[in-house]
Amino acid sequence: MAISFDNALGIHQYTLGIRAQRAEVLSSNIANADTPHYKARDVNFSSALESAVSHQQGMRMMATSEKHFDLQALTQQNVQFRVPDQPDTGDGNTVDMQKEQQTFMQNTLEYQMSLDFLGGKFSGMRKAIRGD
C-alpha cells in the first residue's frame, strides 16, 4: 500500500512554502522602509493557499514536467500592494515599520508552527512504518 503524502501531510506542505515567500516580501518591505515611492506589499495568504492546493491535487512533488506546480509563481500572483494605515509622509513610501515588524514576527511564528505540524505528521508516519 503506497503512502499518499497529499493525504498524510494535509495543507501543511503548502503553507510552509507560502509563508517562506511571504517572509521574503515582508523583509523586502522592511529593507525599503526609507526608499522614496516604495509601496508596501504582502501576500494574500488565503488566495495563495487556495491556488496551491487546487494546482497540486493529484500531482507528485517532483518537478520533472512543465505541468508541475510552481509555488513561487503562484505566490507572486497573490502578492498585492498593501493599503496604507498611515498618511503619506511626503515621499510616497507606504511602509509602516511597526506593522511590518509585527506582521513579520507573526508570519515567523506561523512558519514555525507549520514546521512543527509537519514534523508531527512525519513522526506519526515513521511510527506507523516501524510499527511502534
CA dihedral sign, ordered 100, 47, 23, 38: negative
pTM exceeds 0.85, yes or no: no
User: What H or E segment, with its residue span, contains residue 72?
Assistant: helix 71-77
Burial of 6 (0-12, 13-18, 19+ CB in 10 A): middle
From first to last of the 132 residues of the chain, give the pLDDT tens digit: 566 666 667 777 788 888 999 999 999 999 999 999 999 999 988 787 787 667 555 444 555 665 555 555 555 677 888 888 777 778 889 999 999 999 999 999 999 999 998 888 888 888 888 887
pLDDT in tens, 76-100: 677 888 888 777 778 889 999 999 9
Report the distance separating Cα 83 and Cα 96, nearest Å. 11
Please report, as a single letter, which amino acid is at residue 56: Q
